[in-house]
């Protein structure tokens, strides 16, 4: 662009890199440095025990479930927001962002109290066998709450760009409504949908604040990986906590790469 | 010549027959969507206020103000969140300037790096800070020697919050600055403005709504941050408990009304954030539309 | 297939897009719906396609009432102004779409699509995505896609509106030739009179939801039915005059106007096209004096802008290059302007 005309290139880039180095790269380096002090058997001993395996499995499982639920529900919500008119639609639209703004601890607190036996929703659900508190379902539920806006906000703008002409063209060529959806609309929003899934999945993998409230944190059953890190820390087992954190960090970085690729795919398709 | 865009009645709120889904489909899907948002979002929010106010207004007020620990948590959050926001606004503006206005090798990598805190688990973020500044940390011995307390103290809380909320301001500013383009700034410089004058008179007025929007989002997240702060806080009563941590503490102590009372303040702030966001979004879009209109040939005033 | 529109009315809120429109499109004709924005031409096209439903009135295909038949079942080929290509499908898949949703056998799909891609001269580009094509190529893909389902009628909405001038010129010629080859009933919408005249057999001039005139390009241009059509079809000088006893007067000019034989004098508008005015140095009968303000000799005709000395109104004259060279006009000189032909309209037809 205008590297030579506009001022402040060296200063702004220097400041940015310094800030990132101090706040981001230095801590990551410290984490890797601490982990590297472990021998490989120590490392494996920390990250690959029956309890950690159960925690990874549980974390992945609830993240997959919640991201899938977010995609299904988010698709529905985005569809309705873009295509239909109804009273209070603007309020409805802005409420979608609430999970972005609401502290996760509050989400955890309220979800844990809604679905217990005496809770507003629990009083109807618990008698028919749906345990929405201190269970796997409870975790999936609160993670779906957190993931929903990621999916809606990923799909909504893309859905808006599909103009009426395109649908009319499909219709005139003889496609039914379902054929139009599956052959024309869905392929167009697929990259955005997958991006939404990945964002919500990534968010779920690392989530801590809300899950501690609702999961019950039972080892081998409803314990997520971040909770495991915290309990290791509370036992002053820093090395083990660090080892598990490295695994989680690797997973996060991988997700970030995937999301970046997906977003590139989305924009290349949008033209 | 610009192709003239035809006024199409179909584009003016009258949806053509082919695009309109049958009434029962519209009804069914709209009801389902409303139910989803109702169950996932509206009921929980209502429930927070219901639980907080159930014992009555007097008790509610008491829950918020009588307990010294709660009072301290509120004060602490009011220090930690703004500090982190100020740091990230500074970073956000400078970084957005570098990224939006210049091309340099590694630029894409830099953008990805800025996104990193979105992906990293807050707990891991907190742990990483412990591993530098904690007793066992890389800098631990040196810090102890010089009697500097970072983790389990205010600086740690601010650092953890800064880490987690780092991307918000940049992320809001980048698209705005890219959409506005650099023409006005180049014009200002060519007219003899120095860097400060250009920034205060041209750049800042152009990005102000986007910036404010970033600040609002950043602040919401900063006030609510739990995982990272939890790890670096060491949970020392009346020293390192922020509001979200206090919510959890009261919950663990089975003091539900008090826990919900603190939660209701945070929820109220979240709702205000949404409201401000709606207003600002409209302003930003108006601004961008203006820029787009100015770029059109003059005929369509 | 022939198309007949019978008394169609369409209202959007307070805006009357079509007002009791009736129209016949004979089998095999190439018809242009010409009019300014908001004249209802696109709405009419969409009603023919079944994309809008008329509030009242009927649409017939080959004398069969299709008013309530869904657009999906009308089997029309429709080309959208902005192409409306499926952006995630390549050229081949776009063209094949209509056949695929009809569950056409694969071999047949391949054969038909290749044939059409050849017809629109895009062979070798089957695997390209719409984003990798130029505007003109996209338009041809849209056309091939519309033709793939073997429609009985082809409808095009501003088919060349979004293209640059040169490509537009080529595609016009090409569409005309294509129509002559396959002979399909074709209706297209345009706001460009030149385009309508160049491509169409018949032109329908529309304004404010009504049909103002229907005829061959020559008829419409030579014998505009009313001031709107006259004005819409190119530059025109308008003078205010009077009519009385079968004659129209304007300044010193008098022309026959048998349509108004009455003795009572009435206001009338006198329309003269710039190329139907002659400039003379000496006074001739039936002329007005103008002062030459500006001349623009660039182009196939020389344009002269002047002001009437007696009325103060602007007068716009077009001369052939030869005549212009012969006259050697100077700016500021006063000359005489005589119409070879005028059209007189009474005020009830005013625009």
Strand order, beta sheet including C15-25: C15-25, C3-12, C56-61, C64-65
Q: Which two tokens stand for residue B212?
A: 């404010």
CA distance A137 to A215: 9
Spell out which residues of chain B touch residue A95, defining contact as CB-CB under 8 Å: 37, 41-42, 274
Q: For the segment B79-94, what is each residue's pLDDT rounded down to a tens digit?
A: 999 999 999 999 999 9
* C224 interfacial to chain A (CB closer than 8 Å): no
Task: Identify the pLDDT of residue A4.
Answer: 63
Has residue C103 got a pLDDT over 70? yes
Q: Which two tokens stand for residue C67?
A: 């008013």
- Between A78 and C285, the higher pLDDT residue: A78
* C80 interfacial to chain A (CB closer than 8 Å): yes
Q: pLDDT tier at B299 (50, 70, 90 boundaries)?
A: very low
Q: Are C262 and C279 in contact (CB under 8 A)?
A: no
CA distance C117 to A172: 20
What rounded mean pLDDT belongs to chain A? 90
Instruction: Look at C82 and A163 and tell me if their CB atoms are within 8 Å.
Output: yes
Instruction: Look at B17 and C164 and tell me if their CB atoms are within 8 Å.
Output: no
Instruction: Look at C43 and B9 and tell me if their CB atoms are within 8 Å.
Output: yes
CA C224 to chain centre: 13
Count of domains observed in chain B: 1
Task: Identify the pLDDT of residue C348.
Answer: 64
* Nearest CB to C84; choose among A165, A269, A271: A165
Which of A1-10, B128-137, C338-347 has the least mean pLDDT?
A1-10
pTM confidence score: 0.85
Distance from the Cα of B33 to chain A's closest Cα (Å) equals 5
Has residue C173 got a pLDDT over 80? yes
Has residue B256 got a pLDDT over 80? yes
Helices H / strands E in chain A, number of each = 15, 0
Task: Identify the pLDDT of residue B7.
Answer: 35
Preferred mutation among C13, C138, C159, C208 to probe B, highest tally of B CBs within 10 A: C13
Q: For the segment A3-42, what is each residue's pLDDT rounded down to a tens digit?
A: 468 888 999 999 999 999 999 999 999 999 988 888 989 8
Has residue B9 got a pLDDT over 60? no
Mean pLDDT of B266-274: 94
CA distance A72 to C113: 36
Q: Are C260 and C269 in contact (CB under 8 A)?
A: no
Task: Identify the pLDDT of residue B297.
Answer: 57
Task: Identify the H or E element spanning C290.
Answer: strand C288-296
DSSP string, A130-161: ---SSSHHHHHHHHHHHHHHHHHHHHHHHHHH
* Nearest CB to A23; choose among B29, B127, B163: B163
Neighbours of chain A (3+ CB pairs under 8 A): B, C
* Nearest CB to B127; choose among A9, A19, A245: A245
Distance from the Cα of C61 to chain A's closest Cα (Å) equals 16
Task: Identify the pLDDT of residue C61.
Answer: 94
Spell out which residues of chain B touch residue A167, defining contact as CB-CB under 8 Å: 18-19
ipTM of the complex: 0.90
* C281 interfacial to chain A (CB closer than 8 Å): no
Task: Identify the pLDDT of residue A146.
Answer: 96
Instruction: Look at B17 and C71 and tell me if their CB atoms are within 8 Å.
Output: yes
Has residue B293 got a pLDDT over 90? no
Here the CATH number for the domain that contains residue B175 is: 1.10.3720.10
Mean pLDDT of B200-229: 93
Q: pLDDT tier at B13 (50, 70, 90 boundaries)?
A: very low
User: Is residue B29 situated within a structural domain?
Assistant: no
CA distance C185 to C63: 14
Residue in C closest to B3 by C-alpha = C162
* B58 interfacial to chain C (CB closer than 8 Å): no
CA distance C83 to C160: 10
Using a pLDDT cut of 90, give the percent of chain B over it: 65
Bridge partners (DSSP) of residue C78 are C155
Has residue A270 got a pLDDT over 60? no
Domain boundaries, chain A: 39-270
* Nearest CB to A188; choose among C80, C88, C131: C88
Distance from the Cα of B16 to chain C's closest Cα (Å) equals 6
* B206 interfacial to chain A (CB closer than 8 Å): no
Spell out which residues of chain C touch residue A194, defining contact as CB-CB under 8 Å: none
What rounded mean pLDDT belongs to chain B? 88
Q: pLDDT tier at B164 (50, 70, 90 boundaries)?
A: very high
Q: pLDDT tier at A269 (50, 70, 90 boundaries)?
A: low
Spell out which residues of chain B touch residue A110, defining contact as CB-CB under 8 Å: 44-45, 47-48, 51, 260, 263
Has residue C350 got a pLDDT over 60? no
* Nearest CB to B9; choose among C17, C50, C161: C17
SS3 (DSSP) at C61: strand
User: Is residue B32 situated within a structural domain?
Assistant: no
Preferred mutation among C50, C101, C149 to probe A, highest tally of A CBs within 10 A: C101
Spell out which residues of chain B touch residue C163, defining contact as CB-CB under 8 Å: 3
Has residue A134 got a pLDDT over 80? yes
Q: For the segment C109-165, what is each residue's pLDDT rounded down to a tens digit?
A: 999 999 999 988 899 999 999 999 998 899 999 999 999 999 989 999 998 877 888
* B24 interfacial to chain A (CB closer than 8 Å): no
Using a pLDDT cut of 70, give the percent of chain B over it: 92
* Nearest CB to B37; choose among A77, A111, A206: A77
* Nearest CB to B121; choose among A94, A97, A226: A226
Instruction: Look at B138 and A30 and tell me if their CB atoms are within 8 Å.
Output: yes
Task: Identify the pLDDT of residue A185.
Answer: 93
Distance from the Cα of A260 to chain C's closest Cα (Å) equals 20
C-proximal residues of B, 4-33, CB under 8 Å: 4, 6-10, 12-14, 16-18
* Nearest CB to B182; choose among A2, A98, A207: A2
Mean pLDDT of B219-230: 94
Q: pLDDT tier at B6 (50, 70, 90 boundaries)?
A: very low
CATH for A39-270, options being 3.30.365.10, 2.120.10.80, 1.10.1670.40, 1.10.3720.10? 1.10.3720.10
Residues 6+ apart with CB under 8 A from B299: none
Task: Identify the pLDDT of residue B79.
Answer: 96
* B300 interfacial to chain C (CB closer than 8 Å): no
User: Is residue B15 situated within a structural domain?
Assistant: no
Task: Identify the pLDDT of residue B216.
Answer: 92
């Amino acid at each position: 662009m205008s590297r030579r005309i506009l001022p402040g290139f060296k200063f702004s880039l220097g400041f940015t890199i310094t800030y990132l180095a101090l706040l981001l790269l230095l801590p990551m380096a410290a984490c890797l440095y601490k982990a590297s002090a472990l021998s490989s058997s120590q490392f494996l001993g920390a990250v690959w025990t029956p309890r950690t395996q159960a925690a990874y499995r549980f974390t992945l499982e609830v993240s997959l479930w919640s991201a899938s639920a977010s995609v299904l529900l988010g698709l529905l919500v985005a569809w309705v927001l873009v295509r239909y008119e109804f009273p209070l639609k603007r309020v409805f639209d802005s409420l979608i962002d609430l999970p972005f703004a609401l502290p996760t601890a509050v989400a955890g607190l309220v979800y844990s109290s809604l679905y217990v036996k005496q809770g507003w929703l629990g009083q109807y659900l618990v008698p028919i066998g749906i345990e929405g508190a201190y269970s796997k379902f409870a975790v999936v539920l609160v993670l779906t709450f957190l993931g929903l806006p990621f999916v809606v906000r990923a799909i909504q703008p893309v859905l808006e760009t599909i103009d009426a002409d395109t649908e009319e063209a499909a219709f005139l060529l003889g496609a039914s409504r379902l054929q139009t959806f599956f052959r024309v609309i869905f392929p167009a929003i697929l990259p955005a949908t997958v991006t939404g899934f990945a964002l919500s999945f990534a968010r779920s993998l690392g989530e801590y604040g809300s899950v501690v409230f609702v999961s019950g944190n039972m080892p081998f059953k409803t314990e997520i990986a971040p909770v495991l890190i915290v309990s290791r820390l509370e036992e002053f087992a820093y090395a083990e906590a660090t080892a598990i954190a490295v695994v989680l960090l690797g997973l996060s970085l991988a997700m970030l790469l995937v999301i970046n690729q997906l977003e590139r795919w989305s924009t290349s398709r949008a033209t | 010549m610009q192709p003239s865009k035809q006024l199409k009645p179909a584009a003016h709120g009258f949806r053509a027959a082919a695009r309109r889904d049958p009434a029962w489909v519209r009804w069914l899907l709209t009801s389902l969507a409303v139910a989803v948002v109702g169950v996932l979002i509206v009921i929980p929010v209502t429930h927070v206020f219901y639980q907080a106010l159930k014992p009555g207004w007097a008790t509610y007020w008491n829950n918020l103000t009588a307990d010294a620990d709660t009072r301290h948590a509120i004060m602490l959050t009011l220090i930690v969140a703004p500090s982190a926001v100020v740091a990230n606004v500074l970073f956000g503006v400078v970084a957005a300037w570098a990224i939006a206005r210049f091309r340099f090798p590694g630029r894409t990598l830099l953008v990805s790096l800025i996104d990193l805190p979105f992906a990293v688990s807050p707990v891991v973020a907190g742990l990483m800070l412990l591993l530098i500044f904690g007793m066992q940390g890389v800098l631990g011995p040196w810090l102890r020697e010089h009697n500097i307390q970072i983790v389990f103290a205010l600086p740690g809380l601010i650092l953890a919050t800064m880490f987690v909320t780092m991307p918000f301001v940049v992320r809001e500013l980048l698209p705005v600055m890219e959409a506005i383009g650099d023409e006005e700034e180049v014009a200002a410089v060519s007219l003899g403005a120095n860097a400060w004058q250009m920034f205060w008179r041209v750049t800042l007025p152009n990005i102000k709504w986007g910036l404010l929007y970033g600040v609002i989002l950043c602040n919401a997240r900063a006030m609510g941050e739990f995982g990272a702060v939890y790890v670096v806080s060491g949970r020392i009563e009346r020293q390192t408990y922020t509001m979200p941590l206090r919510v959890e503490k009261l919950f663990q102590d089975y003091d539900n009304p008090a826990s919900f009372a603190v939660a209701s303040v945070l929820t109220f702030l979240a709702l205000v954030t949404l409201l401000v966001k709606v207003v600002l979004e409209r302003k930003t879009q108006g601004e961008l539309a203006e820029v787009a209109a100015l770029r059109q040939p003059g005929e369509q005033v | 297939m022939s198309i007949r529109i019978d008394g169609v009315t369409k209202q959007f809120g307070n805006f009357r897009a079509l007002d009791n429109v009736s129209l016949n499109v004979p089998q095999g004709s190439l018809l242009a719906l010409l009019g300014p924005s908001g004249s209802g031409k696109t709405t009419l096209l969409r009603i023919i396609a079944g994309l809008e439903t008329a509030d009242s009135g009927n649409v017939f295909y080959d004398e069969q009432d299709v008013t309530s038949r869904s657009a999906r079942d009308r089997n029309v080929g429709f080309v959208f102004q902005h192409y409306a290509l499926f952006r995630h499908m390549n050229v081949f898949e776009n063209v094949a779409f209509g056949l695929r949703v009809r569950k056409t056998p694969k071999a047949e799909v391949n054969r038909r699509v290749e044939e059409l891609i050849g017809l629109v001269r895009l062979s070798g580009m089957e695997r390209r995505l719409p984003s990798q094509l130029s505007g003109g190529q996209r338009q041809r893909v849209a056309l091939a896609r519309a033709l793939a389902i073997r429609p009985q009628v082809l409808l095009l909405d501003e088919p060349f509106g979004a293209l640059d001038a040169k490509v537009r010129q080529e595609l016009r010629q090409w569409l005309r030739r294509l129509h002559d080859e396959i002979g399909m009933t074709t209706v297209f919408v345009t706001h460009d009179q030149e385009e309508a005249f160049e491509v169409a057999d018949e032109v329908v001039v529309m304004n404010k939801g009504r049909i103002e005139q229907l005829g061959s390009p020559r008829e419409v241009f030579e014998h505009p039915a009313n001031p709107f059509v006259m004005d819409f079809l190119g530059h025109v000088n308008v003078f205010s005059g009077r009519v009385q006893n079968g004659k129209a007067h304007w300044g010193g000019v008098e022309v026959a106007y048998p349509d108004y034989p009455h003795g009572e004098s009435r206001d009338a508008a006198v329309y003269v096209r710039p190329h139907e005015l002659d400039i003379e140095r000496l006074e001739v009968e039936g002329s007005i004096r103008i002062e030459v303000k500006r001349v623009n000799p660039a182009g196939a005709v020389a344009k002269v802008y002047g002001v009437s000395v007696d009325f103060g109104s602007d007068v716009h004259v077009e001369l052939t290059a030869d005549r212009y060279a012969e006259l050697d006009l100077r700016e500021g000189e006063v000359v005489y302007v005589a119409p070879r032909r005028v059209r007189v309209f009474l005020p009830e037809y005013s625009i």
